[in-house]
Chains A and B, each alone.
Chain A
């Protein structure tokens, strides 16, 4: 770990200005991922701008939307009564993340920007195109049990680790940013990028931008949602496969459905063709099976993660079956 500078910003404008004018700087909130990345040499920064003092911690559930400040803590959002009632999937996704200690420290913005747990990325001495563009992806022929079956490229097959991002992807959230060029809003569907030949670029954020808020539309659908996370131990572990699902039915017919998947894609994975295959149809095991097959139609599994093709389909059956009262 290299020595680095540290400044505490007093308001968002100052934070952005400091970041823009200090070479090699980045923002730090909870630091639960960033400091490990710096210790491991997976990221190097000359200067950290602390955003914990900014007034970005608010959580409000309005008539139209949930608004979460970028510096709100995972635990505060997870335990917020309005979130639990109106967005059960969000609360479940957060409570299924990390440990109580980390949830108490880690911010919403930081959660969305956490880096992959791929061992090759985290090992500074290993090739990794996400860390060193063009250096290749050893996971493709190496240890890839935790890696993606969807959205990969020859340069990177790492999964995005955030459960929250999967839930937000299902709920059509909007990420609000403040940067040197002013404020802007990015729909979550366009926020995370596929690796392609530039796996080092993970989001649509521009240099020096700060996540100030995340907005989630309040819909009847969001109120009937849940988050299923499958993993290798009971808590404190990233998803092997996860499903964020929201479902409304009339009779047995699917009125509306939103689905996003974790652990299987190089970004929080949503495929609207899967939802379209269910919408307007009776919710039957056959319909869910068909939707699942659409989801994995373009899957590219590797030696260690082949099982995810089957597991993610079964997870879909399980969560939709539960939401739709099929069992």
Chain B
């Protein structure tokens, strides 16, 4: 063992990314490629009556303008295709910004200009755009992906009625968009044998392949999806969306490869969003602070044609010990696009829970950290009967972060800490998120040159997958970092996990470790069986692999390179071990805000986190996840907000100039602590997902700090300056 796993190894793909050598999906050079441009509906509800293509077709370089009239009829796939319909199959318009025509031209500029010349005549119906207008039509949607929208244990209504102390509040958050910097893009290449290659920016090449095969009625294995790098996804590229199917269809119709890159504005109606959300939350507790009832009724935007609720409230059900819980997740139908998962989906409901816990702490006069400790649970209460957590160290997170932050110095009374003309507030919240595990395989090849290559059809979403898998393989083989190459993002490799739901590492780490162990043993077996090897005849279990050398003490030393050169052929093995289970990571975030209430100015100045994610595989990339999560939480709390026109249901701010996300000047200092378990475990059992946990508590922690600073409780994000005046 070289002990590489856990170290803060620098990104193995860092140089390629910063020098531009890394080829993202739209960078793929495909000979003879044509360019696509979408014409989007300018109404939110109604019918397409007529599409006049003449002006567009008359422009130089325009190859085709497809409409519902000539688009091939496709099969509607289930999730992960994330629409209840395929556009351009009929005349119906379900939301503004829905594709109604697809232009193909020789150059991108020609395609875009022609798209602007396509004239569409509609029969428009009045859309419903605002949740507040139709809240009385909220309903309990059907199960989505086998998850019911109602959950109950104990008798929450009765317990709430009898509770000594109650909190009864409504928390809300607006529509938000993922906004990865790399736009969605598809390049479709049909081969002569009828197979299809897609260069796609996707968080799941396997997902995308399966969806496209179903849509086109193609046999398994006839579609290859390639996505070696992502410029961000955040859930927007987890499911598969219409533009992918339409581009493949357009390429088939014209018999040439077609490339499509969505515009930023199109990304506000094409790839899901975090749905607008209202959360009516009632907590009941004893005077000592023990929760006795949690009654949660949330309402999220769904559409007229589907009722999928994506942003579930897992923490409401599980995070705190409480015998009586009733959760209902309602939907309200609006004429907007289908929403989706957005980092981190559980934040939406968790913001309400962690704010309500802070409100309860003030009702009771109990410190907010102490209140959470009193309600700590060591069992997962959702299954019946409950299941103990194998190794939950949330209490250590509270202690570590509180100490590093200096929480003990906090005066609990709101509005009492000033520094010049600024009020200083300290707030905290628990962080948690679910992770999933998806069956995965990884193939490891050691070539005659002694170099190793790992292949798996999972993705580098930007979090460090290339780096961490390389570390795992190096440690398992006993090989230096520069001798191992990891290849990802191609369905030509063995099927592996989606990069969503914090699932990548819990799914892929163990297969990679298993493959490395198998390959090491195979090479050692070759060495000890080879009369030319100094290790000949040594019992295999006595050979230690380290830094590319295989040694059994003294001068009995061989190397991977020498063994493989003599062997003259590759060694190839596959790992598919599944030794993690779906579960949760935990943590605590403590932060400081400084506010000038006169002008509504607010800065988040200091953040300390401590997380329990099981074993940390790379401290540097884990810290990167925390910083990214804090910035996401900051955006959620302070600025992110998709504005929809109430009359037309059109997005009014579909660009990064008016949809605000935090910039570097908004970034506080972040101290990221880990309650780590660095025990060596060659099989990497029980690896947990982490990506979505950091940041989940940040919006509530900011709101709680605002209350501490100025005594004003904000329950509706974003906390813009008008709410602080």
A binds B: yes
A residues near B, CB below 8 A?
1-3, 36, 40-41, 117, 119-120, 122-123, 125-126, 138, 141-143, 145-146, 230, 232-237, 240, 307, 310-311, 314-315, 317-318, 327
Contact indicator B720/A235 (Cβ below 8 Å): no
Contact indicator B421/A327 (Cβ below 8 Å): yes
Contact indicator B650/A234 (Cβ below 8 Å): no
Contact indicator A1/B643 (Cβ below 8 Å): no
B253 within 8 A of A: no
A selection of 22 A-B contacts at a CB cut-off of 8 Å is A2-B116, A119-B643, A120-B645, A123-B650, A123-B652, A125-B650, A126-B648, A126-B650, A138-B645, A138-B647, A142-B646, A143-B643, A143-B652, A146-B658, A230-B721, A232-B638, A233-B662, A233-B665, A234-B663, A234-B666, A237-B660, A311-B721
- Interface secondary structure of B, over-half rule: loop
Contacts A123-B654, A141-B647, A230-B721 supplied; 13 other A-B pairs, CB < 8 Å: A3-B113, A40-B265, A117-B657, A117-B658, A142-B647, A143-B652, A232-B639, A232-B720, A233-B638, A233-B662, A234-B603, A311-B725, A317-B598
In the complex, what residues of B have CB within 8 A of residue A120's CB? Answer: 645, 652
Nearest-Cβ distance from residue B720 to partner chain A, whole angstroms: 6
Interface centre among A40, A119, A125 (most CB of B within 10 A): A119
**Complex partner residue of B116 from A1, A315, A327, CB under 8 angstroms:** A1
In the complex, what residues of B have CB within 8 A of residue A236's CB? Answer: 663, 665
Q: Which 4 A-B pairs have the closest CB atoms?
A: A119-B652, A307-B722, A234-B665, A125-B42
**Complex partner residue of A307 from B265, B650, B725, CB under 8 angstroms:** B725
Residue of B nearest to A236 (CB): B663
In the complex, what residues of A have CB within 8 A of residue B666's CB? Answer: 233-234
Question: Within residues 582 to 611 of chain B, which ones have a CB less than 8 A from any CB in chain A?
Answer: 598-601, 603
The total number of A-B Cβ pairs within 8 Å is: 89
B109 within 8 A of A: yes
B361 within 8 A of A: no
Question: Within residues 700 to 725 of chain B, which ones have a CB less than 8 A from any CB in chain A?
Answer: 720-722, 725
B112 within 8 A of A: yes
Question: Within residues 41 to 72 of chain B, which ones have a CB less than 8 A from any CB in chain A?
Answer: 42
B653 within 8 A of A: yes
In the complex, what residues of A have CB within 8 A of residue B721's CB? Answer: 230, 232, 240, 307, 311
Contact indicator B599/A318 (Cβ below 8 Å): yes
**Complex partner residue of A233 from B42, B643, B660, B725, CB under 8 angstroms:** B660
In the complex, what residues of A have CB within 8 A of residue B652's CB? Answer: 119-120, 123, 142-143
A234→B603 CA distance, assembly (Å): 8
Contact indicator B113/A142 (Cβ below 8 Å): no
A126→B116 CA distance, assembly (Å): 14
Residue of A nearest to B596 (CB): A318
In the complex, what residues of B have CB within 8 A of residue A235's CB? Answer: 663, 665
Contact indicator B113/A315 (Cβ below 8 Å): no
B residues near A, CB below 8 A?
42, 109, 112-113, 116, 265, 421, 598-601, 603, 638-639, 643-648, 650, 652-655, 657-658, 660, 662-663, 665-666, 720-722, 725
Nearest-Cβ distance from residue B477 to partner chain A, whole angstroms: 45
Nearest-Cβ distance from residue A192 to partner chain B, whole angstroms: 21
Residue of A nearest to B265 (CB): A40
Contact indicator A232/B660 (Cβ below 8 Å): yes
Contact indicator B660/A41 (Cβ below 8 Å): no
**Complex partner residue of A142 from B645, B655, B722, CB under 8 angstroms:** B645
A124→B618 CA distance, assembly (Å): 48
In the complex, what residues of A have CB within 8 A of residue B662's CB? Answer: 233
A40→B266 CA distance, assembly (Å): 11
In the complex, what residues of A have CB within 8 A of residue B653's CB? Answer: 119, 143
In the complex, what residues of A have CB within 8 A of residue B722's CB? Answer: 307, 311
In the complex, what residues of B have CB within 8 A of residue A123's CB? Answer: 650, 652, 654
Residue of B nearest to A146 (CB): B658
Contact indicator B598/A233 (Cβ below 8 Å): no
A120→B652 CA distance, assembly (Å): 6
In the complex, what residues of A have CB within 8 A of residue B603's CB? Answer: 234
In the complex, what residues of A have CB within 8 A of residue B644's CB? Answer: 143
In the complex, what residues of B have CB within 8 A of residue A327's CB? Answer: 421
In the complex, what residues of B have CB within 8 A of residue A237's CB? Answer: 660
Nearest-Cβ distance from residue B594 to partner chain A, whole angstroms: 12
A51→B116 CA distance, assembly (Å): 28
Known A1-B113, A233-B638, A233-B639: A138·B598 in contact at CB below 8 Å: no
Contact indicator B663/A318 (Cβ below 8 Å): no
In the complex, what residues of B have CB within 8 A of residue A234's CB? Answer: 603, 663, 665-666
A113→B497 CA distance, assembly (Å): 51
**Complex partner residue of A119 from B658, B660, B665, CB under 8 angstroms:** B658
Nearest-Cβ distance from residue B716 to partner chain A, whole angstroms: 14
Residue of A nearest to B96 (CB): A125
In the complex, what residues of B have CB within 8 A of residue A233's CB? Answer: 638-639, 660, 662-663, 665-666
In the complex, what residues of B have CB within 8 A of residue A142's CB? Answer: 645-647, 652
In the complex, what residues of B have CB within 8 A of residue A122's CB? Answer: 655
In the complex, what residues of A have CB within 8 A of residue B650's CB? Answer: 123, 125-126
Known A142-B645, A233-B660, A234-B666: A41·B113 in contact at CB below 8 Å: no
A22→B589 CA distance, assembly (Å): 61
Nearest-Cβ distance from residue B684 to partner chain A, whole angstroms: 40
A141→B648 CA distance, assembly (Å): 11
In the complex, what residues of A have CB within 8 A of residue B647's CB? Answer: 138, 141-142
In the complex, what residues of A have CB within 8 A of residue B599's CB? Answer: 230, 311, 314-315, 318
Known A1-B116, A315-B599, A318-B599: A141·B109 in contact at CB below 8 Å: no
A123→B657 CA distance, assembly (Å): 13
A214→B4 CA distance, assembly (Å): 62
Contact indicator A1/B720 (Cβ below 8 Å): no
In the complex, what residues of B have CB within 8 A of residue A125's CB? Answer: 42, 650
A117→B657 CA distance, assembly (Å): 8
A237→B663 CA distance, assembly (Å): 10
**Complex partner residue of A230 from B600, B660, B663, CB under 8 angstroms:** B600
In the complex, what residues of A have CB within 8 A of residue B116's CB? Answer: 1-2, 41
**Complex partner residue of A311 from B600, B639, B655, B660, CB under 8 angstroms:** B600
Contact indicator A3/B646 (Cβ below 8 Å): no
Contact indicator A3/B639 (Cβ below 8 Å): no
A119→B109 CA distance, assembly (Å): 24
A126→B113 CA distance, assembly (Å): 19
In the complex, what residues of B have CB within 8 A of residue A2's CB? Answer: 113, 116
Known A1-B116, A119-B653: A310·B648 in contact at CB below 8 Å: no
Known A120-B652, A327-B421: A310·B646 in contact at CB below 8 Å: no
Contact indicator B658/A141 (Cβ below 8 Å): no
Known A142-B646, A307-B722: A314·B660 in contact at CB below 8 Å: no
In the complex, what residues of B have CB within 8 A of residue A119's CB? Answer: 643, 652-654, 658
Nearest-Cβ distance from residue B31 to partner chain A, whole angstroms: 25
A143→B665 CA distance, assembly (Å): 27
A317→B599 CA distance, assembly (Å): 10
A234→B650 CA distance, assembly (Å): 28
